[in-house]
Structure 1
């Protein structure tokens, strides 16, 4: 038997759906937190593995074995969190699931990679790139989860976190390349060029961290950048970036460089943890607010339904009450007063809330869309020119500088030209 459905039921259902969305976001943040932990530990293992290989297995053997044991436990925690994430999020789309498949494949084959490193059957460069590939797939998953968020405040926090983790990953790669250069005792131009690219990538992502991060985070970031040991890191970075091809470097500086970079990564990790805690606190507050809103809405509906003055059947066609903006979920005049409590007033308020959320979300979504377009343009350049990812981005950036335009504009032109027939 069919039952009648009323505006009051659908209004309250919308409030319930909003609460459910926030609860879903809570599980997403918990999962992103586990992804971040796994990335951090893999970065530590990558550093130890690189030093182990660079020393011909003479150093960091015991430290690396301990790190691997820790990471195996974290991988178990990650897979459990992944299963929980999928159980609670039936909306995970094909892109997320495909990325997850790649990640699981990489984790399955991590034991083999570790065995090759132990036997010194893999080169320094290939070891780095192997870890980079797995870490890159995990960071890509964070991006896709960020892209699926429909809450503006949480989406902005997730975008800040994504750029922090991505910048931190490039900082980790800088540590490995710099350690190799110092350890080798001489400067090689290809590795120096790689270093320049990694520095530029960090700057790009850290600028976005400050753009989307809170005022407090940006102030803390600037203070951290001005610290004494950061200035010391910059000093040793300058030794690498200003050296000439085949110029002699001091091998003993490799350990100091590695320690400075490791401290830098640890500081970023602390900021990352603080940002995750902030998201949990923010989401808890949003959930409390949503539940209060639901209860107030329920009481309001009871009030207007009990009111003998509330002519609910005629208010929709009362042409003195503007509803067009509300129907299109656009911002509208909040000073409009109503002669009585009505369903229209409640719907106007709810439409305004949704419009405000969508307006706040637009800047975040724009940044996400731009990143997607730039990645697609990079992929197209990589396939057509046969260049690396870094070289493709360098082409985009240099073209943008030559033409005095934004990188996103160049990316859009490249994609548009590729779509044109002939």
Structure 2
């Protein structure tokens, strides 16, 4: 016996059930992202303490470093559990392949932490090498957040994820500034190269925080302004000015490294408070959107039996508002799906909501595309010219200003030039 033919009613409900499934997965993804933000914060503190430990030949902040390692281990275990629950129990489709590959690399990096910590404890590596090792692991963790935002398909959640990624990136640059400053002050002197690196890290922070502010609400903007006005930023700027003077060749008592660490940490803790508010807003948004979608499904299930099918299939074929292969939906006041008087109007209302979601997503996706292009162009310069990340960014920024271009536009130009050079078998000109 043949099964009954599927109806439009069934697919209307299936569309809403699909939305609920996506939001359930996004809610778990946001739990993962929150755990990553907590681990990154703890690793940033461990990195700074490790630098002081190495530069002081194991004499300073030893108990603090030991306690910090335990906090990091706790967060590592929690993140592993959440990653397994989210991505092994419910593997994403083909769009999630870059994300899963990044997670695999991050877990491998986390597996190397015990050996790294032992080597630092034994004073078996330089502060510079320790800083780069932590930096690479944190960069991997931030990439997981980036890919999570890239595959998210709910506008409000995606925008919040983009804001969070940019904020975490800015905070990581602040953490790198703290790390390099700790090394310099602990040795009692700075050179011109270190001074330029710290200045470039400040520029990278500013860019990331500007991008973060594009996607936040008024409450977070108010919190950001309050942080900027905090006295810790004034104290930090005084120490930054001191670094500029020390780059001229002067030296200073190495004990000031603990002052720098305390001031820089107060500032990063202030940033952490904003980050915590952002992750809380992210999780709250996920819960609210999921509750709304479940309510909509129950409402549609109860109302579909009351709605009439007074339009014929021929009506739809001549209605340019309805079919997805028309150029665009003709807007009209059809109300929400809950206000529909017929199944046909319910379909139109739901289609319009989907279109509005796609439009709302575009700004966030554009920001992610631009970030991908900038990072790719920066990587090309680092590879071709042997530059550090900070030097590559500084060169791109200077060239964009000279050409009166946006950084993302310059990035596309550099990528296209590199592609053309590879096709012609010659080195690109950067």
* TM-score, scaled to structure 1: 0.93
Report the counterpart of residue 47 of structure 1 in structure 2. 48
Secondary structure of residue in 2 paired with 1:216: helix
Choose the corresponding residue for 2:102, options 99, 119, 123.
Answer: 99
SS of 2:415's partner is: helix
Is 1:392 matched with 2:395?
A: no
Task: Give ranges in structure 2 of 5+ residues lacking alignment.
Answer: 425-430
8 Å contact from structure 1 (residues 186, 247) kept in 2: yes
1:419, CA displacement in angstroms?
2.2
* TM superposition shift of 1:289: 1.6
CA apart distance, 1:18: 0.4
Partners of 2:55 and 2:183 within 8 A in 1: yes
- Measure how far apart 1:253 and its partner are: 2.5
Q: Quick check: 1:402 aligned with 2:405?
A: no
Moved more, 89-98 or 42-51: 89-98
What is residue 149 of structure 1 aligned with on the other side? 152
In 2 relative to 1, CA 242–59 (structure 1 residues): closer, same or farther, beyond 3 Å?
closer
Q: Which runs of structure 2 are paired with 1:8-19 in the superposition (5 Å)?
A: 8-19=9-20
Q: How does 1:11-410 map to 2 (within 5 A)?
A: 11-91=12-92, 93-305=96-308, 310-317=310-317, 319=318, 321-323=319-321, 328=326, 330=328, 332-335=330-333, 341-410=341-410
CA distance in 2, matches of 1:287, 1:106: 34
Residue 245 of structure 1: CA displacement?
A: 2.6
- Cα distance in 1 between the residues matched to 2:403 and 2:228: 31
Specify the SS of the correspondent of 1:218. helix
Deviates more, 1:192-201 or 1:296-305: 296-305
Contact 1:157-1:213 at 8 Å conserved across structures: yes
- Let me know the Cα RMSD of the aligned residues: 1.9
1-structure distance, mates of 2:133, 2:164? 24
How many residue pairs match? The answer is: 415
**Contact kept? 1:139, 1:162, Cα under 8 Å:** yes
Q: Distance in 1 between matches of 2:320 and 2:350?
A: 14
CA contact (8 A) 2:322 2:329 kept: no
Give, in angstroms, the shift of residue 157 of structure 1: 0.5
The answer to whether the aligner puts 1:6 opposite 2:4 as a matched pair is no
Matches of 1:68 and 1:229 in 2, distance apart?
Answer: 26
Q: What is the CA distance between 1:334 and its match in structure 2?
A: 2.4
Instruction: Tell me, in whole angstroms, the C-alpha distance in 1 between the residues paired with 2:326 and 2:123.
Output: 63
TM-superposed CA distance for 1:330, in Å, is 4.2
SS at match of 2:250: coil
Q: Relative to 1, partners in 2 of residues 1:207 and 1:367: Cα closer, same or farther, differing over 3 Å? A: same
* Alpha-carbon separation, structure 2, partners of 1:145 and 1:258: 32
**Alignment deviations for residues 277-333 of structure 1 (CA, whole Å, 9 cap, x no partner):** 11111122111221222223223321124x7xx24444324x4x5425765584532
Pick closer, same or farther for the CA change 1:367–1:384 going to 2, 3 Å. Answer: same
Q: Measured at CA, do residues 272 and 88 of structure 1 come closer, stay the same or move farther in structure 2, by a change above 3 Å?
A: farther
Conservation of the 8 A alpha-carbon contact between 2:99 and 2:144: yes
Extract unaligned runs of 5+ from structure 1: none
Using the TM superposition, give the Cα deviation of residue 7 of structure 1 relative to its aligned residue in structure 2, in angstroms.
Answer: 0.7
What are the superposed Cα offsets for residues 341-378 of structure 1, whole Å, 9 maximum, x if unpaired?
A: 33321121111101111111000000000011111111
User: Would you say the 8 A contact 1:330–1:355 is kept in 2?
Assistant: no
- CA contact 2:176–2:201 (8 Å) conserved in 1: yes
1:329 and 1:352 in contact (8 A); partners too? no
Deviation of 1:79 after TM superposition, in Å, equals 1.0
Whether the 8 Å contact between 1:330 and 1:352 is mirrored in structure 2 is no
d(CA) in 2 for partners of 1:312, 1:293: 25
1:73 Cα deviation after fit = 2.3
Counterpart CA distance in 1 for 2:346 and 2:382 is 53
The worse-fitting range, judged by mean Cα deviation, of 377-386 and 10-19 is: 377-386
Render the CA deviation track for 1:237-257: whole Å, top value 9, x for unaligned.
Answer: 122135443123343332211
Q: Which residue of 1 aligns with 2:411?
A: 411
Report the Cα distance in structure 2 between the residues aligned to 1:210 and 1:349, rounded to whole angstroms.
32
SS in 1 for 2:353: helix
Normalising to structure 2: TM-score of the pair?
0.92
376-385 or 236-245, which deviates more: 236-245
Distance in 2, Cα, partners of 1:207 & 1:89? 35
CA distance in 2, matches of 1:244, 1:187: 5
Helix, strand or coil for the counterpart of 1:5? coil
Q: Which residue of 1 aligns with 2:428?
A: none
